[in-house]
Amino acid sequence: LQFPSSWYFVSPGKKIKGEGIFRIQIEEHTLVLFRDPLNQVVALEARCSHLGADLGNGFIESGNLVCPLHHWKFNSEGFCTNHSQSNGKNFVQKKYPTKEAFGFVFVFLGDRFFEFPKFDFLDQFEFQSLPEVKLDTTWYTVGANGYDTLHLSVVHKRGLKENPICTFPEWYIFQMDTKAFVEGNQLSDYIIKFLSRDSITARITSYGGVLIVLESTLHLKTSVLLVFLRPEGDSVCIFTMAGVRKKSIWLDFFRKKISAFLYKKFLFKDIIPLTRMKLRTENLVHDPVLKYYYEYLVNLNLL
């Protein structure tokens, strides 16, 4: 399976700052990111369009990215501003769409473009990053896991009160709504049981396969888990942030810690089952919910 046309997580916005150049490789794309004079994040192809030096080794000079080898300058549109080809045409670095939202930077890779989803409600949330995990499996194995209700019951000890509702609001979106209750008897299960009064509603939405938002409401209190998948060869890097609604600085700090703790406990249980898993996509169709994940992969043009 290919990797999908989608918005890929790059880094927290604060890591791309000042005159710094942020270099990143995502599958066959090597990119350099920097901020233009208006503080917007720009992503250009890293390989210089002149002789191919790596612009990640260059520097920024009055808003232009300067190649380390012959000091050709590229502006935030990717156009070379101090040299042109013998036929008068500009040298151009390929430019990639970027988006900075709720403190994180994303870049669009692929040829089936869609606008960055409207995540305005996330602006009311405060995020705490969980440790980054690299798993020896594919991005869609992790993606499918979020919709695996059998696994949810036997490993995460969450029963479902009703059949989940699955929808495709757009070709690149897959959403599942569930009502669950806690079956487990670990400390984190008791905390959730207490906080939720045993009523959990969860909505898990995938955008372009690799951007996943889990909204869970425990008795009127909503928290958010963002999961960004970045394929890396035969593995996948998983970036996870737990978010709670901003209320007061002191309380937010503790609420953030508790929610990060609970999500960590939850996700930790996925590491062993998913390690070295090779998803048999052809069997997804036999599961009442995962069959929609199969359909989603078809919608994404991957199957």
Where do contacts with ligand FES occur on this chain (CB under 6 A)?
Answer: 48, 50-53, 67, 69-70, 72
What count of other Cβ atoms lies within 10 Å of the Cβ of residue 258?
A: 17
Query: 3-state DSSP call for residue 35?
Result: strand
Q: Of ligand FES, Fe ion, none, which one does residue 50 interact with (CB within 5 to 8 Å by kind)?
A: ligand FES
Residue 303 to residue 298: CA distance in whole angstroms? 5
Q: Name the residue nearer to Fe ion (CB basis): 107 or 144.
A: 144
Q: Which is nearer to Fe ion, 215 or 270 (CB)?
A: 270
Q: Which is nearer to ligand FES, 54 or 177 (CB)?
A: 54
Residue closer to ligand FES (CB basis): 51 or 150: 51
Q: Return the one option of ligand FES, Fe ion, none that residue 270 interacts with (CB less than 5 to 8 A, by type).
A: Fe ion
Residue 50 or 245 having the CB closest to ligand FES: 50
Distance (Å, whole) CA 159 – CA 166: 17
Q: Which does 279 bind (CB under 5 to 8 A by kind): Fe ion, ligand FES, none?
A: none
Distances (CA, A) of 114 to 11, 97, 108, 111, 302: 20, 10, 9, 9, 16
CB of 204 to ligand FES, least distance (A): 44
303 binds, among ligand FES, Fe ion, none (CB under 5 to 8 A by kind): none
Residue 67 beta carbon to ligand FES: minimum distance, rounded to whole angstroms: 3
Q: Which is nearer to ligand FES, 91 or 174 (CB)?
A: 91
Q: What angle do CA 159, 166, 121 make, to 5 degrees?
A: 90
With binding defined as CB under 5 A, does residue 149 bind Fe ion?
no
Which own/partner contact pairs does 150-155 have at CB distance under 8 Å and 24+ positions apart?
150/287, 151/273, 152/180, 153/183, 155/269, 155/270, 155/273
Q: Which of 84, 27, 72 is nearest to 48 (CA)?
A: 72
Sign of CA dihedral 234, 147, 186, 263: positive
**Taking CB under 5 A as the criterion, which residues in 261-300 touch Fe ion?**
270
**Residue 208 one-letter amino acid:** G
State the binding partner of 41 from Fe ion, ligand FES, none, CB within 5 to 8 A by kind: none
Binding interface with Fe ion (CB under 5 A): 145, 270
